Structure 1
Amino acid sequence: MANASGLLVIERILRDRQGIWQQVVEDRSLARLTGQMLMSSVIALACYGAVLGSFNGVLMALTSAAKLPLLFLVTLAICLPTLYLFNLVFGARLSVRQSLALVMVALTVTAMLAVAFAPIALFFLITAPDYGFFKLLNVSILALSALVGLRFLTGGMRVLNEHGLLSPAKPAVEQQQEAPAGAPAVPAAPAAVPANGSGGTATLTAPAPAPVQAPAQAVVPPGYMLTPIGGHQHQRPGRPAPKPAQPTPPSMTLLYIWILLFGFVGTQLAWTLRPFFGSPGMKFSLYRDIDGNFYAEIFRTLSNLF
């Protein structure tokens, strides 16, 4: 699975996501991995774009097949420098390759989920060819696919946080550590002293320490509780102590801000590159005049549909 190429890279992402995150952490062969994800994403988005444009004929299908991959890649090119600079400002140690690989994982998952919904979109296109319903259906599919892809992105950033790549590098510290308080002292080795009037030596052996008798355990009457309800619970023997929760680095907070930025840029770019579906009753055109915005169009479609 580690050498999966082309469209099979999505199978590795879904089955071996920990291996993907470890590869990103180690910055190992990321150029090849990113190339595989880029190729699979472009093919999947082109297939789904053809489904979108098929509502208005073959020419619109071919145009949308080229526009949809362009939409995601241009949005990525616009927003990726912001994510990288956010990480640099707050001391994260991510390289450009690592940042790009993380975002490409999210984009690949989004593209593959969208193309998995393509048969459903085609089914409704054939059985219920209503323009408003078809447009809202596909917007919902793309939104759901993007949410799942962004969940992969946040999961990958959490793994990088666990490996310390989102925190500033700590200064070097001395390797020698102080002994814990209350540790028993180690007895010194016996000293060799000269024997009486001879050149040899005799070893003075210290007397063995008296065995320490363990304190007798108190007899607890039946039904008596050592720890009151709501009191401190001692750690059970043999069970590791829970790890303290790591503080959320600023890079994780800025990641959510960046996701919102990515969404706003993507929706506005989609509005600029329209049409993707091709409105019925209008002539074919490669682009429309820039008027209004994406959200106003969605609200208008909802009001006309209901």
Structure 2
Amino acid sequence: MSGDRPSPLVIERILRDRQGIWQQIVAERDLNALTGRMLVSSAVALACYGAVLGAFHSALMALTSAVKLPLLFLVTLVICLPTLYLFNLVFGARLSVRQSVALVMVAITVTSMLAVAFAPISLFFLITAPDYGFFKLLNVAILTLSAVVGLRFLTGGMQVLNEHGLLAPATAGQAANAATPAAQAVPAQAAPTSVEAAQPAPAVAEPVPAGAAVSGTAVAANGSTPAADGSAPATTQPAPAQPAPVAQPALVGQPALVPAGYPAGMLPPGYPQRPWGTPPARRGEPGQRPASMTLLYIWILLFGFVGTQLAWTLRPFFGDPGQGFALFRSIDGNFYAEILRTIGNL
């Protein structure tokens, strides 16, 4: 399924064509429409699941939980998204605001759709085993599992963006290629290299026949000139000149070449001793974890802490059957202490 033919259900496209979703986010193509569809789908799914939670107490509690559960995820996103975006900028990532929102909305959409898929199971235990403590722990486990799967989609999307270099700053070579595209049109033979300039022109002697006269001087068969007194000619053969080793100029972003006259495994002092054939490490390559990926895992923990504390602030979602209806409860204790207390009372 291609990214240009959207599915009627956005969750179906996310699950079936996740690579198309990531490529659309990388290209920043039609993100407003995609984010809007994910927002509507998540709100509807969370409202349905919230109604199941509140149905344990009363119909009025079901209505208020259907409103508060989507509000919980939306407010948590608004609180935590600026932190993710600004810290990515600090560490050199080149994500836009729309890309960041779309990535987090993919995670929230998967979480909400998985939660509503568990709604029939939650409703079954509501009817057959109406125990307040068990029902509360069951639905907390369902939401936790759904959130873990949704955040896995978020980390997968960030890894795809890392492979496209959006989580690392632009390198000097990329900036130079983008700034001077006309420099690639320069002919390769514009100027001789330093090796060519350092090589002296070899003196090639033309073969001269024996007995021939060159400027009035007889030339012997071996190419030497006889002495004036008729003695044996002195043969003079100049030794071949050995040019000094000259290093070829290194290209931008590539290692220096081996100087002429040195074996491949030996380098003179002052040259980089890195083994040949091993390319230099660059930021943003697949296999490396940039600082933005490490920050993402920290942000996920922050997102979880903010979400659970906000859920405790917006309670009740289930509604204790021993108490009357209330839109909000007084803020005392915390979410984790309540979960431990509920486990101890089972």
TM-score bracket relative to the smaller structure: 0.7 to 0.9
Which structure 2 residues correspond to residues 222-237 of structure 1 after superposition, within 5 A? none
1:71 maps to a residue whose letter is: L
| Cα distance in structure 1, aligned partners of 2:338 and 2:328 | 16
Contact kept, 8 Å, 1:71 with 1:269, in 2: the verdict is yes
Q: CA deviation at 1:81?
A: 0.3
1:4 to 3, 6, 18: 6
Contact kept, 8 Å, 2:309 with 2:335, in 1: the verdict is yes
Q: CA deviation at 1:108?
A: 0.1
Q: Give the TM-score normalised by the residue count of structure 2.
A: 0.67
Are positions 1:255 and 2:309 aligned together? Answer: no
| Cα distance in structure 2, aligned partners of 1:290 and 1:5 | 43
| Cα distance in structure 2, aligned partners of 1:148 and 1:130 | 27
Report the counterpart of residue 323 of structure 2 in structure 1.
Answer: 282
Q: CA deviation at 1:98?
A: 0.1
| Cα distance in structure 1, aligned partners of 2:115 and 2:317 | 15
User: Kindly, what percent of the aligned residue pairs are identical?
Assistant: 79
Corresponding residue SS for 1:74: helix
Report the counterpart of residue 111 of structure 1 in structure 2.
Answer: 112
| Cα distance in structure 1, aligned partners of 2:155 and 2:74 | 19
Q: CA deviation at 1:245?
A: 5.4
Q: CA deviation at 1:4?
A: 3.3
Q: CA deviation at 1:246?
A: 2.9
| Cα distance in structure 2, aligned partners of 1:292 and 1:280 | 20
Corresponding residue SS for 1:56: coil
| Cα distance in structure 2, aligned partners of 1:157 and 1:281 | 46
| Cα distance in structure 2, aligned partners of 1:97 and 1:125 | 40
Report the counterpart of residue 68 of structure 1 in structure 2.
Answer: 69
The structure number with the bigger radius of gyration is 2
1:303 maps to a residue whose letter is: G
Report the counterpart of residue 99 of structure 2 in structure 1.
Answer: 98
| Cα distance in structure 2, aligned partners of 1:100 and 1:5 | 21
Are positions 1:43 and 2:84 aligned together? Answer: no
Q: CA deviation at 1:32?
A: 0.3
Report the counterpart of residue 184 of structure 1 in structure 2.
Answer: none
Contact kept, 8 Å, 1:53 with 1:61, in 2: the verdict is yes
Which structure 2 residues correspond to residues 257-276 of structure 1 after superposition, within 5 A? 257-276=298-317
Q: 1:62 to 1:245 in 2, by over 3 A?
A: closer
Consecutive unaligned residues of structure 1, counting only runs of 5 or more, are: 179-243
| Cα distance in structure 2, aligned partners of 1:168 and 1:129 | 55
Q: CA deviation at 1:173?
A: 4.1
Corresponding residue SS for 2:56: helix
Q: Give the TM-score normalised by the residue count of structure 1.
A: 0.76
Report the counterpart of residue 152 of structure 1 in structure 2.
Answer: 153
Contact kept, 8 Å, 1:5 with 1:36, in 2: the verdict is no
Q: CA deviation at 1:247?
A: 1.6
| Cα distance in structure 1, aligned partners of 2:7 and 2:328 | 35
| Cα distance in structure 2, aligned partners of 1:5 and 1:283 | 44
Q: 1:260 to 1:15 in 2, by over 3 A?
A: same
| Cα distance in structure 2, aligned partners of 1:290 and 1:251 | 35
1:52 maps to a residue whose letter is: L
Q: 1:52 to 1:85 in 2, by over 3 A?
A: same
Are positions 1:292 and 2:333 aligned together? Answer: yes
| Cα distance in structure 2, aligned partners of 1:5 and 1:61 | 31
2:96 maps to a residue whose letter is: S
Q: 1:109 to 1:290 in 2, by over 3 A?
A: same
Corresponding residue SS for 2:10: helix
Write the deviation string for residues 134-168 of structure 1: whole angstroms up to 9, x where unpaired.
00000000000000000000000000000000000
